[in-house]
Amino acid sequence: MAGTVAEARPLIDQVRPAAVLLDRHLGGDALAYGAALRHRDPHPGVVLIGGHDDDLLFRALDAGLSAYVPWDAKPATILAAVRHAAAAPSSFTAPDLAAAMARRRQGRVATLSPREREVLLLLRDGLTAPGIATALRVSDSTVKTYLARLYDKLGVHGRGQAVVAAAEQGLFGPRPATG
């Protein structure tokens, strides 16, 4: 057991554990150390433990850590995260991940380029990818690229989810009147 990142480094190098549990408030930057540890060696798995903090959870995910667990999680949940990290260090898990992703989608409004907005409107109107390509006079692969960017920016995985998320964020505005 170490009280600081400086104390943890030689201990981890010596013991070479299958998984490491880092407390958010470990003396030094535990998140940065965990990311460096994962970058340096694909093993061990790294679990970060901290508060109920969506931003920290997503930073842990982006940093390549194996898991994020809140301090008040049940011991069985913490143990499961450590076991997960040891078995699949490059696969991320967090008990509140789905809820955090939903909160993230609700709290942000995607910033779209003018072309992405055009693709989104055509998607809303029910056009398929080939139909969008024809309407915009671009290739199918270009449309697929725009769709992938839209899905990423909206935090969704498909056409229907994209339309719903965009509507929830007010990205469509009022529909133009038809004559």
**Is residue 36 exposed (0-12), middle (13-18) or buried (19+ Cβ within 10 Å)?**
middle
Alpha carbons 12 and 42: distance in angstroms, whole number: 14
pLDDT tens column, 76-129 = 999 999 999 999 988 888 887 777 777 766 666 667 888 888 999 999 998 999
DSSP letter at 27 equals: B
22 three-class SS: strand
pLDDT tens column, 127-174 = 999 999 999 999 999 999 999 888 888 877 788 888 888 887 778 766
- pLDDT at position 140 is 92
- pLDDT at position 85 is 92
The structural domains of the chain, with segments of one domain joined by +, span 5-103, 108-168
What's domain 108-168's architecture?
A: Orthogonal Bundle (1.10)
Residue 4 token pair: 């600081």
Alpha carbons 66 and 70: distance in angstroms, whole number: 14
Vertex 90 angle, CA 22 and 40, to 5°: 70
pLDDT tens column, 28-71 = 788 888 888 888 877 889 999 998 888 888 888 888 899 999 98
What's domain 5-103's architecture?
A: 3-Layer(aba) Sandwich (3.40)
